[in-house]
Structure 1
Amino acid sequence: MSEKSPLPRRPVPHAGMIPLVPAAKQNYAARSVLRKLVQGEAPPTAPMSIVDRLAGSPYANPTIQVGGVDASARKTIDFALHLAETMFRYGAGALEVETSIIAVTAALGLRNIEVDITNQSVIINYAKKDATPITLLRVVRSWTNNYAGLSLVHELVTDIVSGGVGRDESYRRLETILRSPRPFPRWMVTMAEAGFAAIVVAVIGGTGFGTLVALLSSLLVGLLARTLGKWRVPDFFTTAASSFLVTAIALICAMLDVPLTPASVVTGGILLLLPSGRLVSAVQDAINGFPVTAAGRFLSAFLTFGAIVSGIAVGLVFGSLFRSGRLDVTQPFSGGLPLWAALPLVILASVAIGIAEQTKIKLLLPTGLIGLLGYCVLLLATAAGLGDRFAPAVAAVVVGMAARFVALRMGAPQLVIAVPASIFLLVGLSIFRAMFVMTITPAASVEGAVGLFNALIIILAVAAGVVLGDNLARPLTRGHGNNEKRHNRRR
């Protein structure tokens, strides 16, 4: 047997010698420490995954359904577009539509998608790696008020995200929602709108006879608008004809020396024509990062303003032919109802707007109570000296938070409760008065411009307050979303 060569012995350092560290290990440790100091947690230019848009929404962490997904990707995208179109038609905001599309497609297995939403169209692009991309477009050509249907769509999306409903069953449920009748008939919606106008006149200080005239004028405006709608008349001319009718009624009352303020008739008939809610939605879309959709809604709202002023101007011209005298809608109201009488009317007004927006019956009372809460906060903030601009914003934050808590508890989107509950915070009458002064009284155009600017600032504050309240309540409502998902699984 051959002898094994002995292993080389490592030199033993003498006492007092400094042990040597290999240069490679020393350089690696230094580079590692330096990298941790100068490098962030993620590359700054890395694209955000589209599923990350669901963070903070009711559809966060969807349950992914697997099995034959790619073979039926076209059907899944068709369903998502159909769902988005329905939500837009029923009054949902752009952010709500986007999160619903992302949640549904992610739950059904399509994660490599991109969504683009404008004022009237939705585009979905599915581009999986090493596969032919699919791009589909859906245009929304009609709108209607149906918050009850929007709530049912919200429940459907929640069920899909929780993994309890497949695509075929989702198709059937969506078709059932589209065929379902609205909660309230047309005549009840007309009465609710007229009742809201009369209540507003009573709360801000109109006389009893003025409240009655406002009620009747609103009924006539609703009948005229429905007739012109059957004739396919564009909304611009429908709004102009409605404002002309209200102006004519005010002129007739002035000619007959009826004991009421003509401004009360104008307020009762015009208030529901003002696109205050559309302006709030436009501001919300702009804040949430949808500038194209916001620009389209802003343009639509300003066209409505132009139609209102045009109808009033034509009514004044006809009134001058009959020597009726000049109508002054800028005259302020005198007095008002006591607080104990105004508070129940605020609840009724919020419920009336809920009926006009076709809200679910079970959501009417919570909407009225949240509207009362916002009105009380508005009164307290005004009494505390916060000013006419900041006080509505504070009340809107409270309304936005309360609406999110209640809506998620009752299986509905926040918009369904927040919009009707915030009507009393808006300043539609102030906008109308400012535009009236600018158009009809050129000598006071500067005053009208200042009034319009102040009114728009308040609307921006209210819209931002509702969005801020919704965002502030999101960390506190994560448990509500989980409870909702568990409830949907049990059903």
Structure 2
Amino acid sequence: MHAKAQPLTPAQARANESARRVLRRLVQGEAPPTAPMNIVDRLAGSPYANPMIQVGQADESARKTIDFALRLAETMFRYGAGALEVETSIIAVTAAFGLRNIEVDITNQSVIINYAHRDGVPITVLRVVRSWTNNYAGLVEVHELVTDIVGGGLPRSDAYHRLDVIIKRPKPFPRWMVAWAEAVFAAAVVGVIGGTIFGMLVALLTILMAGQVARVMGKWRVPDFFVTAISSFIVTAVAVLCFMFHAPLSPSVVVAGGILLMLPSGRLVSAVQDAINGFPVTAAGRFLSAFLTFGAIVAGIAVALVTSALFGASRLDVAEPIVGSWPLYVVVPLVAVATVAICIAEQTSVKLLLPTMGVALAGYLSYYVGMEFGLGGRFAPAVAAIVVGVLSRVIALRMRAPQLVVAVPSIIFLLVGLSIFRAMFVMTLTPEDSVTGAVGIFNALVVILAVAAGVVLGDNIARPLTRTNGNKDRRRNRRR
């Protein structure tokens, strides 16, 4: 006969139930593997990690919220924001306005938002970005708007009005100041890479002339490819004329300083950042756009050199190595002037001019020290980019601005586009050295990847330094 089972005491029953729960967690896990990522997890590490959610008829006004988020995303893309920043801003804004079941898909020119309520009809809206402009000051204002929305207390109607004001507000610097800033930037770069004072003056006047021609062609709706090609043609033609009249300058320095403003260095770095952050389609589109710009520059220079040869001018080697000859105490002020000038050209907010200049100087000194200690032309830029990434995040968040508007102008001194231009020039005009050109392109891409990865790594390193008190944020953002 079987013995009758003894009934469990309440304490034994609780112990058995606890054991079953522990075993169930070990076998099944906390959540199903195909569950969508939580909205808070997707915002982790961003400036909007703890959004204050506004409750009340969110589903009834979902379409209006999505339309506002799309317009916000379009504005950010037009002003030069990266894909990751646009995505986090969309998620933070929609979450703050009460929409949690949001999916965002971003490509190089379009933004798609899908909202699928549990018991409602899904809503999918697409917005295409068809134009771009330099307006870092506007990007800073959009960042402040998103921060205020996430912080709570800003209704959607007021957010609509503020976004309209940002879009319609004039840029901080007039066109004539931007034109002179571009010319000053070219002149300062010529000095940084070892040009003479006369060469700096020639570069300044050349960029002023090329800028006026580019503005006229812009009014005629000429594609950017041809505008860039004609601008590089003008720069090279001026260098050829100076060479023919035995002017005391190096033609390669004049060409390098003149075209550095046209080189899409920031676009290349942004493309690598997008690829690292998980946006391969956007990265591919930006890479293609950047290499088309390189092709336009090489085409303009090639046409200028061939035309000069028809008139009996000697062949110029505009891709010859450039070695700076000025001491450090002269180069550092030139880097500062060049950084402020490129900030004005990019329409950066006035309050960020001096902080960005400080970050650029810190990065350049890091690069200089790295080269002095023998880190080499690949590792030294990466170290400098890490320094720029850390400082950019710390300063930008304290100034209520995105990291991009501080980091991109601060890495121009690394000249990440100049080396790849030389390699493309060698492959185009000297076919016998095509192997050398291919190796140069590979080395340039390695440097670009190192700089972009360094900026992203620096941004991640600085996150603990900019993290606010989590418990205070959670209490403040608790749903009320």
- With the length of structure 2 as denominator, give the TM-score of the two structures: 0.93
Instruction: Give the aligned partner of residue 316 of structure 1.
Output: 305
Instruction: Give the aligned partner of residue 147 of structure 2.
Output: 158
Q: Residue 465 of structure 2: SS of its match in structure 1? A: coil
Alignment of 1:354-433 (within 5 A): 354-433=343-422
Q: Distance in 2 between matches of 1:251 and 1:70?
A: 66
Instruction: Give the aligned partner of residue 245 of structure 1.
Output: 234
Task: Count residues with an aligned counterpart.
Answer: 470
Instruction: Give the aligned partner of residue 49 of structure 1.
Output: 38
Selected match of 1:60 from 49, 56, 72: 49
Change (3 A) 1:486 1:330: farther
Change (3 A) 1:71 1:39: closer
Change (3 A) 1:140 1:207: same
Q: Distance in 2 between matches of 1:484 and 1:372?
A: 34
> How far off its partner does 1:358 sit?
0.5
- With the length of structure 1 as denominator, give the TM-score of the two structures: 0.91
Q: Distance in 2 between matches of 1:429 and 1:472?
A: 28
* Counterpart contact for 2:192–2:324, Cα < 8 Å: no
The more displaced of 68-77 and 113-122 is: 68-77
Which amino acid letter does the alignment assign opposite residue 361 of structure 2? Answer: L
> How far off its partner does 1:330 sit?
2.4
Instruction: Give the aligned partner of residue 303 of structure 1.
Output: 292
Change (3 A) 1:129 1:230: same
Instruction: Give the aligned partner of residue 202 of structure 1.
Output: 191
Selected match of 1:236 from 225, 234, 238: 225
Which amino acid letter does the alignment assign opposite residue 361 of structure 1? Answer: V
Instruction: Give the aligned partner of residue 166 of structure 2.
Output: 177
Selected match of 1:72 from 43, 61, 65: 61
> How far off its partner does 1:39 sit?
4.6
> How far off its partner does 1:209 sit?
1.1
> How far off its partner does 1:35 sit?
4.0
Change (3 A) 1:174 1:204: same
Q: Distance in 2 between matches of 1:195 and 1:30?
A: 73
* Counterpart contact for 2:103–2:114, Cα < 8 Å: yes
> How far off its partner does 1:141 sit?
0.4
Instruction: Give the aligned partner of residue 270 of structure 1.
Output: 259
> Please, which runs of 5 or more residues in structure 2 have no aligned partner?
none
Q: Distance in 2 between matches of 1:482 and 1:354?
A: 37
Q: Distance in 2 between matches of 1:90 and 1:335?
A: 34
Q: Residue 114 of structure 2: SS of its match in structure 1? A: strand
Instruction: Give the aligned partner of residue 81 of structure 1.
Output: 70
Which of structures 1 and 2 has the bigger CA Rg?
Answer: 1
Q: Distance in 2 between matches of 1:481 and 1:159?
A: 18
Q: Distance in 1 between matches of 2:298 and 2:366?
A: 33
> How far off its partner does 1:112 sit?
1.2
Q: Distance in 1 between matches of 2:186 and 2:471?
A: 40
Q: Distance in 2 between matches of 1:469 and 1:479?
A: 18
Alignment of 1:134-149 (within 5 A): 134-149=123-138
* Counterpart contact for 1:203–1:345, Cα < 8 Å: yes
Q: Distance in 2 between matches of 1:163 and 1:437?
A: 56
Q: Distance in 2 between matches of 1:209 and 1:176?
A: 45
Q: Distance in 2 between matches of 1:372 and 1:74?
A: 46
Q: Alpha carbon RMSD of aligned pairs, Å?
A: 2.4
> How far off its partner does 1:480 sit?
8.8
Instruction: Give the aligned partner of residue 15 of structure 1.
Output: none
Q: Deviations over 1:423-464 (max 9, x none)?
A: 112322211111111111111111111111111110111011
Change (3 A) 1:391 1:30: same
Q: Residue 184 of structure 1: SS of its match in structure 2? A: coil
* Counterpart contact for 1:309–1:435, Cα < 8 Å: yes
Q: Distance in 2 between matches of 1:100 and 1:163?
A: 14
Change (3 A) 1:40 1:385: farther
Change (3 A) 1:334 1:411: closer
Q: Distance in 2 between matches of 1:456 and 1:69?
A: 47
> How far off its partner does 1:220 sit?
1.4
* Counterpart contact for 1:426–1:462, Cα < 8 Å: no
Which amino acid letter does the alignment assign opposite residue 150 of structure 2? Answer: V
